[in-house]
């Protein structure tokens, strides 16, 4: 470090503030290494679409998923990765929250997309007409309005009951399409893409509101994914229609590492 050049002309108060920043960063690292972390949720948390699933079967838990990458980087005191592709709020309650305990200090979760029929909406939009796609999205948005808020509350309240000391980070979903490039992008019509992005925004608003109602942290990934959506070519962090088909319309390995991981790391504190 060229300390003399860097500090030349810098006010004394700014110089004295530097050690405080270093201490804060060290304290954050220490807190992460002592964390008891449980990763809950659906395919956007399990890493479906990012490859390298090991022996997780239909849950598609990827070694590239943001929970696993965060655990690798921070070496928490304990780590339970139970997010599963296809999970709904009822699945979280029936088969995932058992991983929580009074000693859990950090929880991540993405949930809600499957409750409103994400997979069936995408299937309709890919295989049928624009009007069918827009009707399917409208049907999903109706479920976002009701009953999803109550279902989200039930999940978050159960997590709080089972892990009373935990920081609960509720992650949202990215918009799928860069609409500014839709005119030169093969596949769905711009009308379909616009409806799907608007549906994702409605879902994120409901998830954010649930996190706020329950005193939890909402982590919005949309701005992080901006410019890296479908229609952004080789810089896209999201799969379009791909094989295996289950990976379609999910973050790829870059989306997990560069999209979800930084947002979660910031929110985890």
Question: What amino acid positions are annotated as catalytic residues?
Answer: 43, 250
Beta strands 106-109 and 78-81, pairing class: unpaired
Nearest-5° Cα angle at 211, 207 to 212: 115
Residues in the chain: 269
Nearest-5° Cα angle at 230, 135 to 84: 75
CB atoms within 10 A of CB 3: 8
Cα 162 to Cα 46, 71, 84, 110, distances in angstroms: 21, 21, 19, 18
Question: How big is the chain by its Cα radius of gyration, in Å?
Answer: 20
DSSP 114-132: TTTTHHHHHHHHHHS-HHH
Token pair 């070496």 is at which residue?
75
Beta strands 217-219 and 78-81, pairing class: unpaired
């Amino acid at each position: 470090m060229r300390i003399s050049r860097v500090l030349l002309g810098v006010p004394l108060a700014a110089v004295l503030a530097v050690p405080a920043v270093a201490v804060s960063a060290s304290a954050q690292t220490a807190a992460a290494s002592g964390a008891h972390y449980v990763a809950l949720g659906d395919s956007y948390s399990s890493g479906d679409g990012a490859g390298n699933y090991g022996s997780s079967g239909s849950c598609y838990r990827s070694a590239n998923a943001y929970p696993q990458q965060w655990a690798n980087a921070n070496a928490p005191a304990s780590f339970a990765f139970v997010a599963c592709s296809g999970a709904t709020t009822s699945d979280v309650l029936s088969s995932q929250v058992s991983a929580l305990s009074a000693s859990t200090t950090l929880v991540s979760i993405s949930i809600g997309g499957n409750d409103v029929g994400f997979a069936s909406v995408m299937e309709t939009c890919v295989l049928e007409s624009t009007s069918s796609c827009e009707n399917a999205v409208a049907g999903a948005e109706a479920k976002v309005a009701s009953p999803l808020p109550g279902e989200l509350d039930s999940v978050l309240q159960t997590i709080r009951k089972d892990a009373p000391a935990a920081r609960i980070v509720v992650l949202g979903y990215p918009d799928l399409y860069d609409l500014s490039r839709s005119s030169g992008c093969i596949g769905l019509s711009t009308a379909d893409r616009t409806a799907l992005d608007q549906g994702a925004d409605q879902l994120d608003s409901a998830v954010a509101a649930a996190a706020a109602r329950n005193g939890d942290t909402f982590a919005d990934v949309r701005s992080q994914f901006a410019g890296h959506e479908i229609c952004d070519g080789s810089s896209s962090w999201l799969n379009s229609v791909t094989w295996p088909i289950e990976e379609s319309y999910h973050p790829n390995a870059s989306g997990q590492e560069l999209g979800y991981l930084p947002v979660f790391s910031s929110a985890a504190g």
